[in-house]
Structure 1
């Protein structure tokens, strides 16, 4: 299945995906569809100039970028699903996360960062966002689940945040505890989702946005800052 794995990855990169990986979710029953144990996970990096502006506060430009990238990811997901089905396999698209999530648990049906860590694309930061070496947290993801026997990447099994507490320092809700993530650690054991959500909703209400929004932790992350520096925006 090397050829199909290479074909899918190449197609996504040609269509301007920033990162692409394959995850095996079957061993630990992590797939929300048990009969589709593999995941194609792909991301698009956010505009560095807009990300740099998050150091001050979220803006309409950030909301527009966030929405636009989500639309591109959804379109790419449909193309991946079609390619897999043309090859004789089943697929199911998991759309990029939006404001449509479970308000009781503050969680999505499937967190894309689960596939991303299993594919080796990054780790979960102290702010509960995926952190990548290439773009920090300034990247959004979508996932296509499949039963195609694609070749998975090597999972990331530890955090590379170290002693850094920048996301905790800038968080107005004090949501990050400062504890480092590792596979199997429950989200609520290192990050306060409700505090984050309340602050993001407060900002949205004050600025007239339709969905909760913040993003300060994205801009503060040193891994994101390296991305901005390479782009000449820091």
Structure 2
């Protein structure tokens, strides 16, 4: 089933798929499911280049791919349910129905946590997931399921930001504190999400995102 799912998702525009054992998490986090499927879509190098060069805030491609990741997570859940198993897509549309705390702006099981369990990347000083391959130039969504799918948990990657403070220095609203993430650390010590305006400058200008852009941009 997994190979068939991967083939179908690749046809629909997914760039990577990770499967993770979440059975060790609390019932509040995993909602009784044992496996999480993380699907991701890369932001194009050209989009990153344009936003870097023009120093503008433009959510066009980001918004489209965020929406597509959500849609394909819901499609994945339907695909698994049709196979006779249970599944729940953690799309924005589904999470607003009692699974998102508007006061704290949190969900019980963020996509980033699943990505970290998969060994995809680390939490940067911007509080975004940062990966070696894509930087933060990716949109993700997750599906929780009880389907017997092979898993690929990896060791947690600790932050590789070092002394870099690009995201903190470029943030126009000053919401990034410059703190280095540690396991169990309160998110509010890293970023003030309540005053973030979502300009994407931290995502675009992260040196890891810039490296991804430079390695993949069409000359």
Normalization by structure 2: what TM-score?
0.84
The answer to whether structure 1 residue 113 and structure 2 residue 112 are counterparts is: yes
2:161 aligned counterpart, secondary structure:
coil
Paired position in structure 2 for 1:188: 188
- Secondary structure of 1:120's counterpart equals coil
1:143-187 Cα offsets, whole Å, 9 max, x none, are 111012322221424112222211111112222222222332221
**In the alignment, is the contact (CA less than 8 A) between 2:74 and 2:91 conserved in 1?**
no
Q: Which residues of structure 1 form unaligned runs of 5+?
A: 201-212
1:52/1:233 contact within 8 Å kept: no
Classify 1:80/1:31 alpha carbon distance in 2 versus 1 (closer, same or farther; 3 Å).
Answer: farther
Q: Does 1:220 align with 2:217?
A: no
Q: Report the Cα offset of residue 88 of structure 1.
A: 2.3
Determine the C-alpha separation between the residues in 1 that align with 2:103 and 2:202: 23
RMSD: 2.5
Contact 1:157 1:182 in 2 (8 A): no
Question: What is the aligned residue count?
Answer: 212
Measured in 1, the distance between the counterparts of 2:216 and 2:123 equals 23
Match of 2:48 among 48, 51, 60: 51
Shift of 1:136: 0.8
Gaps (5+ residues) in structure 2?
none
> Residues 124 and 31 of structure 1: is their aligned pair in 2 closer, same or farther, counting only changes over 3 Å?
farther
Number of the residue aligned with 1:144: 143
1:1-234 paired onto structure 2 within 5 Å: 4-29=1-26, 32-55=29-52, 56-59=55-58, 63-95=59-91, 102-108=101-107, 110-153=109-152, 154-196=154-196, 200=197, 213-232=198-217
| Residues 31, 221 of structure 1: alpha-carbon distance in 2 compared, 3 angstrom cutoff | farther
TM-score by length of 1: 0.79
Secondary structure, counterpart of 1:23 in structure 2: strand
